[in-house]
Copies of this chain bind each other. A is one copy, B any other.
Amino acid sequence: MNISIINIGDELLIGQVVNTNASNMSKMLCEAGMEVRDVNIISDNVAEIGSTLRRCLKNNDAVLITGGLGPTKDDMTKKVLCDFFHSELVESVEALENVKRIFEARGYELTPINRQQALVPKCCTVINNVKGTAPCMWFETSDPEFNINDGTPRKVVVAMPGVPFEMENIMVTEVVPRLQEHFQTGHIIHKNILVQGIGESFLSDMIEKWELSLPKSIKLAYLPQAGMVKLRLTARGDNRDLLESQIINAVKELYPIAGKYIVGEDMETLPEAVAQMLRVNSKTLASAESCTGGAIASKITSMAGASKYFRGGVIAYSNDVKECTLGVKHSTLEQFGAVSGETVSEMALGVRERLNADYGIATSGVAGPGGGSPEKPVGTVWMAVAGPNGVTVQLKKYGDDRLRTIERACNEVFAMLIHKIKEDNAKAIENQL
């Protein structure tokens, strides 16, 4: 069962908005056993929308469209859908009720321009958008133009609003379940393995034999990210139990080969691996950030439940904040500078003690583009992790891309923390023996 996604919006084509809708939709569809064949970003243009929809519907079983449903003048989608399905715009009672409900809840007056949102092509099924005023529209067709084989279900077109949280809610609660029901979908299982501390090509060499021995139902992909590689195993087929056991086997066989670089399974990011590690071990964390400027804390706290293991943090951008809030010694800053192993070590120890956490992590570096010197060029980052068994310090030299340096430093210090907790656990077991 193949799907095309069409995201409509000039804002996407001039790069002012990143198209997170496509990735979120793809993720949901994949997890539900459906395959996204292509994503098409096009302009708010009648001819363009029509021809893209025609092409995509010929090649796929369903086409999901986002965008172009707002009340403003640059939105064309509904007009195209009317022409495409030889229908006409009518006011939908349920869509109008939803618009009224939302305006009432917000205490706004319903304007004529907003009432227009309740207009839909007569031939569609309206799917309620509880989070917004633009209705979602479901169309079915058996028109032979679109290459429909005998005995297969009618092809489906769904038009949704482009506002991300509205689209997400409609997808999860309505569109994905309806697609699963309408088409008989097979199984797809994904397994992510986070690998840190080895480059993509070295990893590829290291696990080549293992990769070649994988069953045909399993596909491997390398997803390099800042400072780490995500390995993704994808199993497809009709027998879910078989696929699951094949995946379990494959992962089991990977550990003897590359286990020392594996930092997490069944997750997308290192912060998730950190969260799991802290939760499972009932440990707490505090952060002291200079060059990462809050990115460490933000990554941790963007996950629900973070208050269970994250005590808080200090962003010590200026030196006197490092002294007064974290207790870094004035003499340390004078002798070694803010960007040094000594300072970052005192930052980690200080935040651990002052915020009463089991682990303290710290960064201090030159993210750039300014502030570099011959001894400490842009990209120099010191990192530290302080725990019950002392403090570990590391120096990394990244390039001159500010955001990339911040990203990599976060991932590196997260990896240091994971390895530190593993070590501490091993020590604890040793002491018990």
A residues sitting closer than 8 Å to B (CB atoms) are 10-20, 22-30, 35-43, 48, 52, 70-74, 108, 111, 113-114, 131, 163, 165, 190, 192, 199-202, 204-205, 211, 219-225, 230, 232, 234, 268, 287, 289, 292-298, 300-302, 304-307, 310-318, 320-321, 324-325, 354-356, 367-371, 399, 401-404, 406
Contact = CB atoms under 8 A, between A and B. Distances in A.
B204 A304 contact: no
Identical copies in the complex:
2
A287 B297 CA distance: 13
Given A74-B222, A304-B370, A315-B312, A232 B297 contact: no
Nearest to A24: B15
A93 to B, nearest CB: 21
Contact of A38 (B11, B41, B73, B295): B41
A228 B164 CA distance: 14
A72 to B, nearest CB: 5
Given A12-B26, A15-B24, A356-B320, A313 B315 contact: yes
26 contacts: A13-B35, A13-B37, A13-B39, A15-B26, A17-B225, A19-B22, A72-B200, A108-B199, A108-B202, A111-B202, A165-B404, A287-B315, A293-B302, A294-B296, A295-B301, A301-B315, A302-B402, A304-B368, A306-B317, A307-B371, A310-B317, A312-B318, A313-B315, A313-B317, A318-B355, A320-B356
Contact of A301 (B42, B268, B293): B293
Contacts of A296: 294
B222 A399 contact: no
A21 to B, nearest CB: 10
